[in-house]
Amino acid sequence: MRKLVYSMLVSLDGYVTSPDGGLDWARPDEDLHRHANDELREAGAELYGRRMWETMAAHWPTADQDPEISEWEREFALLWQASEKVVFSSTLTEVEGETRLVREDAVEEIRKLKEQHGGPLAISGPTVAAAAVRAGLVDEYRLYLHPVVLGGGLRYLPDLDEPLELELAEERRFDSGVTYLRYLA
C-alpha cells in the first residue's frame, strides 16, 4: 500500500495561506528548495485541491524557461512538469500537462490510489487534505514551519472530533529559520 504524505509550508499559528490567500510570507531559500526537490523526486504522484493546483499551474509549467530563475527552481519546475498529478475539483472542467482531473469523491479516489503500487502520494492543499485527514488516510505529516504569524487564512489541519496522535520522525532547521517537522501517524 502506498503512503499518503501531507506536506505544506505552515506559519507558526498553523496557517498555509495568509487571510487574502497569499503565499508571499514563505521563505523558500536554496536549501529549502533543494529539500522540496528531493521530496518531489521521491513522490509517485502529486495530489492537489483546486486552489493549490491553480497556484502551482500558474507558475511551474513554464518556469524552467525563465532565464532569471535559479538552477534549483529550474530543477523543481522540470520535476514538477514530469510528475503525475491528480487534481480534485468539482468546479474545474479541464487540467493540462501530466494531470488527471477527479470530480467525484476525493476520499474514495485517494483510497483507490493508496491501494495501487508506486511511490508515495504527496497531497497538498488544505481543503482536500482535510478530507483525507478526517478519513484517517494520511500516513505522514511534513510541515515546513516558517517564523511568521499570519493571524488568519487557511489552516494546515482541520477541526477533528478527537486528538490525532503523531510520532516525531525527523526535524531539521534551514538557514532561513524554517523548521522542518516530519510526523508519522
Question: What are the pLDDT digits (tens) for 91-116?
Answer: 999 998 889 999 999 999 999 999 99
Domains of the chain: 4-184 (3.40.430.10)
Query: What is the per-residue pLDDT for 88?
Result: 96
Report the sign of the C-alpha dihedral through residues 100, 106, 108, 111, in that order. Answer: positive
pLDDT value of residue 149: 97
* 92, burial (CB in 10 Å: exposed 0-12, middle 13-18, buried 19+): middle
pTM, two decimals, is 0.93
Asked whether residue 22 carries a pLDDT value surpassing 90, the answer given is no
Summarize pLDDT for 35-73 with one digit per residue, the tens: 999 999 999 999 999 999 999 999 999 999 999 999 999
* H/E run at residue 5: strand 4-11
User: What's the whole-number mean pLDDT along residues 121-125?
Assistant: 95
Residue type, 55: T
**Helix spans in 71-176 (H):** 71-82, 106-115, 126-134
Question: Mean pLDDT across the stretch 131-157?
Answer: 96
- Can you give the C-alpha Rg of the chain in angstroms? 16
Looking at residue 21, its pLDDT comes to 87
| pLDDT over 90, % of the chain | 91
Q: Which helix (H) or strand (E) holds 109?
A: helix 106-115
Rounded distance between C-alpha atoms, residue 44 and residue 22, angstroms? 28
